[in-house]
Structure 1
Amino acid sequence: MKTPLRWPVDDDSDGALVLERFAPEQTFKTKVYAALKQAIVNMDIYSSPDPAWLDERQLSERLGVSRTPVREAIAMLEQEGFVKSMPRRGIMVLKKSKREVIEMIQAWAALESMAARLAAQSASNAEIAKLRKLFQGFNESHRPADYLSEYSDANIRFHQTLVKLSGSAALQEFTSNIFMHVRGIRQITIGRDDRVTRSMDDHLSIIEALEKRDVAAAEQLSRDHTLGLAQYVEEHGDILD
């Protein structure tokens, strides 16, 4: 049984602050889980048709912890649908099917459009200006289509920043679990069928609506922009093969 720690409170009451010690193994598990989840989210799993694998022993060595918290963290990530443990093979980072990807993009559209609405209402002018700065380096002599990797990075930062500008911790939490998949699909579709030009135009229109504090337009433009990606995946499912 854990022994509670008690500190007297600086007043005339008999109250006391009651806290329980963190169990060391629980602390390690939590830290390993957070580190692995962030690393997985940052992976570009849709750039190759081959599956991405993790090795429990290597993870343990690189994180400098025993294999127990790694195993526990993997179990948590497996419950969340990020990975799947394959006996005698390792831990596979899970990709989504075409239908699952479309549904995740649709969910993102709903969440991000609300983020745009909230940002239009409450984000500061300086915060909104950060969105425009992401694209200032692109022009006729530095066209997005000619610098796809650079534009793709700006594109991803735009969507991440827009959600943060909502000021909603809940929206940031809800989008974090689907960001890996939506980001990956955006990266592999941005260079196809001149989508990069449409993407740039859409982003600038969203930014303009935010600058004008046009709440309805910011929300609608953001939703339509992401739903356009869902429609593209629907029509070009081969990109997931």
Structure 2
Amino acid sequence: MNGQLICVIEDEEVIASAVAARLRAEGFVVEVAHDGHAGVALCDRVRPDLVVLDLMLPGLDGLEVCRRVQRDRAVPVLMLTARAEEADLLVGLAVGADDYVTKPFSPRELVARIRALLRRVERRPAPPGDVVLLGALEIDPAARLVRANGEIVHLTPTEFDLLALLAARPGVVFSREQLLAEVWGWRDGSGQRTVDSHVRGLRRKLGSDLVRTVHGVGYALEAGR
């Protein structure tokens, strides 16, 4: 894992410097930007393995930076936010962030989240398997591509993993705890609203009837779609 490149996009220079120093001490290569426009340009130039992104940035805010960074390349994003409101965190996840850490945070927690996210990425791409056809939806696990009505649909890495897991057993209900364990690698059952946010992202991109909610249990992909 050492030597992987991480972009830190954070306007508070003290925080950015502290995060960069800790990550470099852990063996990562780190590049830093202090505003939204510079962050997008940096990611376009160096093509990082992961982005640590502050939600509140001058120029472009973190939500728009996340959209632009994810537009052409599915790079994992860990969002930093000083906001306690759950809605703000869920919006960040909905636009493509894979995980978040709320300020103030401990350096140990941040590094642990980054390593967990990179481990998930290292399990990709999925081994070759049969293309899954569900009506107008085509899921290619080997190429990590999704097509709807013949058109490629851009999904974030986490959205693809979530869809692929549900599509492997259409009609089967997965609990939020199961999805967190299988897709995110979280075994303690925390962060269930993270699952809800990513399901909303799939529905927005692929249709509101794609994933069925089983109230009090979890989600299932519609087998008859």
Q: Same fold (TM over 0.5)?
A: no
Instruction: Give the structure with the larger helix fraction.
Output: 1
Bucket of the pairwise TM-score, normalised by the shorter protein: under 0.3
TM-score (norm 1): 0.26
Task: Kindly name which structure, 1 or 2, has the bigger radius of gyration based on alpha carbons.
Answer: 1
The structure where strand makes up a greater share of residues is 2
Higher relative contact order (CA 8 A, sep 6+): 1
Q: TM-score, normalised by structure 2?
A: 0.27
